Amino acid sequence: MSYTFPVTHTATPKEKPDETQLGFGRYFTDHMFIMDYDEGQGWHDGRIVPYEPISIDPASCVLHYAQMMFEGMKAYRTPSGDIQLFRPDMNFERMNRTNERMCIPAMEEDIFMSAITQLVDVDRDWVPSVQGTSLYIRPFIFGDEVSFSVLPAKRYRFMVILSPVGSYYAANDGGLSTTRIFVEDEYIRAAVGGTGFAKCGGNYAGGMRASKKAAEHQCKDVLWLDAAEHRYVEEIGTSNAFFMINDEVITAPLMGTILPGITRNSVIQLLKKWGIKVSERRLLIEDVVKAAKDGSLKEVFSSGTAAVISPIGCLYYKGEDNQVADGKVGPVAQKVYDTLYGIQTGAVEDDMGWTVKI
Ligand code: COI
């Protein structure tokens, strides 16, 4: 069953930004979706309204105890002008897994899908078409009860906002290029039993101290190591990490500490389909450094909704640069990017059944 929500159209549509200068999360469309939850009533009163600031009580629990979650997904413009989503069912499933961990009420799939598709349809003129661009979709839920009790809220708001975007890393504007990444061996992101697998804001707030350190060392992002020993590679600040050593592509296993990326899952499926050996297993940072030095580290890249495929040319670890091969974009990362972004935008035939037209 699909829902049709009431729409209040904006009286003052905004001027659309230059599609070649979008950056990431700088512009927002004309409308947004809001729905409320009250204990005993469930999710109710979904509606599409003009994009505008919301009012929130200063004592709202989310502002103090951060009971919230978010998702990240994209809509793409195909060569024929259609609009399509990429594996939205995976975002829905991950949302409810996060909700369960954060004590946020579950939502039914039809509400989620109807909210996303109807909002994107209302703002369909905002889906960009320039190479490398898309419409980023940010669904989020937050506890909104006026209370200082450290308990799950009895009231929530579910919202969806949309942002036309280019590359997350400016280095990838107009095509792929490599970034330099800081290997963080002091602070940690997530431990087993924590919230590492959940998409909640606290995971990112706790990571900003390390991102600041990375920026001070002219690095674009952080590569996290495991919490217990600070020795095993986990994920990049915004994305999952892949390491190609000789002919094996290795990525961290899903042990509850890393985000189960939808792009990560898609990359694994594509590599397997192409007959490239891919392993979800623990990998020591010492082995990565050793491989960089002896030349067996062929490629490193990250994958994510925002990051898409971001090749890494250098890993800065314990005061030393470890160049990955020749420091340039590798053929595997390039092929994964071309295929994945091609499927997402309809330029490459979707023989995986991943895209959903709006
Ligand atoms: C996404 O890729 O959708 C994310 O949520 C990463 C974001 C923190 C930039």
- Per residue in 198-247, pLDDT tens? 999 999 999 999 999 999 999 999 999 999 999 999 999 999 999 999 99
User: pLDDT tens, 86-118?
Assistant: 999 999 999 999 999 999 999 999 999 999 999
What atom of ligand 1 comes closest to residue 73's alpha carbon?
3
SS3 sequence of 290-348: HHHHHCCEEEEEEEECCCEEEEEEEEEECCEEEECCCCCCCHHHHHHHHHHHHHHHCCC
Q: In DSSP terms, which residues pair with 309 in a beta bridge? A: 303
Structure tokens at 44: 């109710």
What gap in Å lies between CA 322 and CA 285, rounded to an integer? 11
State which fold the 31-166 domain adopts. Answer: D-amino Acid Aminotransferase; Chain A, domain 1 (3.30.470)
What atom of ligand 1 comes closest to residue 24's alpha carbon?
9
**What is the number of other CB atoms lying within 10 angstroms of the CB of residue 202?**
16
Short-list 303, 310, 341, CA closest to 177: 310
pTM, two decimals, is 0.95
User: Which helix (H) or strand (E) element contains residue 258?
Assistant: none
State the pLDDT confidence band at 171, using cuts at 50, 70 and 90.
low
Structure-model confidence comparison of residues 135 and 173, the more confident one: 135
296 CA to centre of ligand 1 in angstroms: 30
pLDDT of residue 175 exceeding 80: no
284 CA to centre of ligand 1 in angstroms: 25
Structure tokens at 84: 């399509």
Question: Whose alpha carbon is nearest atom 3 of ligand 1?
Answer: 72
The reported pLDDT for the residue numbered 169 is 80
User: pLDDT tens, 271-303?
Assistant: 999 999 999 999 999 999 999 999 999 999 999
User: Which helix (H) or strand (E) element contains residue 90?
Assistant: helix 88-101
The reported pLDDT for the residue numbered 27 is 98
pLDDT of residue 50 exceeding 70: yes
- 172-350 CATH pick, 3.20.10.10, 3.90.120.10, 3.40.50.2300, 3.90.245.10: 3.20.10.10
Residue whose entry in the numeric block shows the structure tokens 């309809």: 346
Q: Which residues does ligand 1 sit against, CB inside 6 Å?
A: 72, 204, 238, 304-306
- 126 neighbors 104 (Cβ within 8 angstroms): no
Indicate the domain borders of the chain: 31-166, 172-350
Q: In DSSP terms, which residues pair with 163 in a beta bridge? A: 136
The reported pLDDT for the residue numbered 299 is 98
The reported pLDDT for the residue numbered 49 is 98
Residue whose entry in the numeric block shows the structure tokens 């369960």: 100
